[in-house]
Amino acid sequence: MDPGQEQEAAAAERGGEESGGKQGRYIPVDRSSPWPDTRQKVAQLVWGDGFVGPGDADSCTEMVQAVGLDESSNMLEIGAGVGGGTRAVAAVFGAYVAGWDLEPELAAEATIQAEVHSLELKAAVKPLDPEQVEFKPNFYIGAVIRETLYRIADKKSFLAKVVESLKPGGHLLISDLFFADDAATSEMDRWRDGERSEAYGWRIDEARDVFTKLSVDVRVTTDESDAYCARILDAWKNFVPTVGDHTLGDDLALPSVDEAEFWARRLTAIQSGDLRFFRITCLKKKLVA
């Protein structure tokens, strides 16, 4: 079966699972895992080496600029992916960055790349089990959580572990997906169906409530949905010529279609206004003598 026939067959199968006017969970061509090797390759072609979603080395280092990292610092990073941002922070600031990711495949690739760049001691990435993980208490001067909390069911318990790992006055920096206050249930379900893994959406007021209970001061809450959408559109616009000039290998043709559909669904959800992308800057409260 040639790639065109494979694509038609996959589309027919998806159509069957979405029959009856109901949109079901999107079924990728490669179902072996959320992040098979082909998807990793396509994602890095779209977003750049070391990245599997919106963002680059500059944006990652800019995000942690206020933490005050140096060669003696330790920082926690949740949602490290294949480690592009982890390595950038370690290289620019000389800090030790303990990276974690929910996807074992991505953490494994990040480990390989850290060794390639001789940063295995300063930019290690491990697979994350939110329920079982234990972080060193009062150890890190900063923690970054990138697009991960929406995938964790018990957010408060996990955030409590992260906050406990911070030194008093430590920075907590979060970028994540949130539902708008007036988001329609049908739109929330449609977005969840478009994700490759389980998604547990929440609202920004719920996040603020959790931080208050964890003795965290929320300093800045910024809706960056427009900028996030712009990064998605720019990345795919730059990727299209790769497909048009036939430099993309046959093994990546269908995975690239899968990835494009995944991001199209997320983009549509954000542009509808029901799903939003926020950046939150917090500080762990200092101990009162």
DSSP letters for 17-61: HT-TT-------S--S-SS-HHHHHHHHHHH-TT-SSS--HHHHH
In a domain, 11, yes or no: no
44: pLDDT strictly greater than 80: yes
In a domain, 22, yes or no: no
In a domain, 18, yes or no: no
Regarding pTM above 0.85, the answer is: yes
Residue at 220: amino acid letter: V
**Structure-block tokens of residue 119:** 């940063």
pLDDT-derived band at 5, boundaries 50, 70, 90:
very low
176: pLDDT strictly greater than 80: yes
Dist. CA 21–CA 37, nearest whole Å = 33
In a domain, 260, yes or no: yes
In a domain, 4, yes or no: no
pLDDT in tens, 264-287: 999 999 999 999 999 999 999 987
Mean pLDDT of 16-31: 50
> How many domains does the structure of the chain reveal?
1
pLDDT-derived band at 251, boundaries 50, 70, 90:
confident
In a domain, 96, yes or no: yes
In a domain, 80, yes or no: yes
At residue 161, φ and ψ (nearest 5 deg) are -65, -40
CATH assignment of the domain containing 45? 3.40.50.150
26: pLDDT strictly greater than 80: no
pLDDT (0 to 100) of residue 24: 57
pLDDT-derived band at 242, boundaries 50, 70, 90:
confident
In a domain, 164, yes or no: yes
Mean pLDDT of 2-23: 40
Dist. CA 272–CA 170, nearest whole Å = 35
Say how many C-beta atoms besides its own lie within 10 A of residue 115's C-beta.
13
The domain of 230 spans 30-284
Dist. CA 156–CA 208, nearest whole Å = 11
pLDDT (0 to 100) of residue 10: 44
